[in-house]
Amino acid sequence: MDLSADAVGGWLQLPGSATAEVTGSVGFDFVCVDTQHGLIGDDALLTMLQALDATGTPTLVRVARNEPDVIGRALDRAAAGVVVPLVDTAEQAAAAVAACHYPPRGVRSYGPTRGTWRERPDPVCVVMVETPAAVAALADILAVPGVDGVFVGPSDLSLGTGTAQDGDPAFDALLTEIVGAVRAAGLPVGIFCASAAHVHRFRALGFTFFAGPSDAALLRGAAAEHRRRSAPA
Ligand code: 3PY
Ligand code: MG
């Protein structure tokens, strides 16, 4: 999975292999299954990863939290990589990386299960920068060996900084600062996008990968639009 060259990804929050397969069928560069927010549990995650693999689309799982058992369960189900939320310090970034790898490199417990027959030798570890603390510690986070990329959560970053994500130049200035630091470190930098307009705006700021909107948001938007267009003239 190459997140450094304008990769556009899907984002799943609804449990079910059918929606995963549909999303995997449209040519996204990757699809992220979100188990931090959304409605997807461990059991649904397995069949969703199987469905995505059937489409040939690389898979990421956003884990619920930065804990070795949680990260291990996503990797045991043979996700190609994890997106770890709310990484605020270099220590937390190092813990996320360690959870992705077996000793001596890391602390991952052995038991790959599905990974036994769908071997993923080197899972991707993407850390989320989405708080003022993370921005303050960004240089240290980027210096942690094994961090494969940074993903910005604009909603949490907006809440934490008290800056509107749309229409406030200070927010784009903050994003530009993050992009500059991550790219200077030679790493891919991505961001959640609530619309195609966001993809275009964030691409212009220098982001290298984009994920979202969620399946739930796309479905609701399309359904609402159909309902609107079907109203009597
Ligand atoms: C955020 O915007 O905070 C996210 O985590 C996106 O999913
Ligand atoms: Mg977030």
* pLDDT tens profile 9-41: 999 999 999 999 999 999 999 999 999 999 999
Read off the pLDDT of residues 41-94 as tens digits, 9 standing for 90 and up. 999 999 999 999 999 999 999 999 999 999 999 999 999 999 999 999 999 999
Specify whether the CB–CB gap between 8 and 198 falls below 8 A. Answer: no
Residue 62 lies in a domain: yes
Is 2 contained in some domain?
no
Q: Is 88 in the pocket of ligand 1 (CB under 6 A)?
A: no
Q: Give this prediction's pTM.
A: 0.97
Residues with a known catalytic role: 37
Does residue 118 lie in a domain region? yes
Residue 156 Cβ inside 6 Å of ligand 1? The answer reads: yes
Q: Pick from 27, 26, 32, 30: which is nearest to 45 by CA?
A: 32
* Cβ 192 under 6 angstroms from ligand 1: yes
Which structural domain, as residue segments, surrounds residue 141?
7-230
Cβ-in-10-Å burial (0-12, 13-18, 19+) of 218 comes to middle
Q: How far is the CA of 129 from the centre of ligand 1 (A)?
A: 9
CATH of the domain at 182: 3.20.20.60
- Interval between CA 108 and ligand 1 midpoint (Å): 26
What is the tally of structural domains in the chain?
Answer: 1
Residue 126, Ramachandran bin (φ over 0: left; ψ between -120 and 50: alpha; else beta): beta
Asked if residue 199 belongs to a domain, the reply is: yes
Task: For ligand 1, atom 1, name the residue with the nearest CA.
Answer: 153
Q: What gap in Å lies between CA 152 and CA 40, rounded to an integer? A: 21
Which string of b and e fits 28-50 if b means at least 16 CB within 10 Å? bbbbbbbbbebebeeebbbbbbb
In a domain, 1, yes or no: no
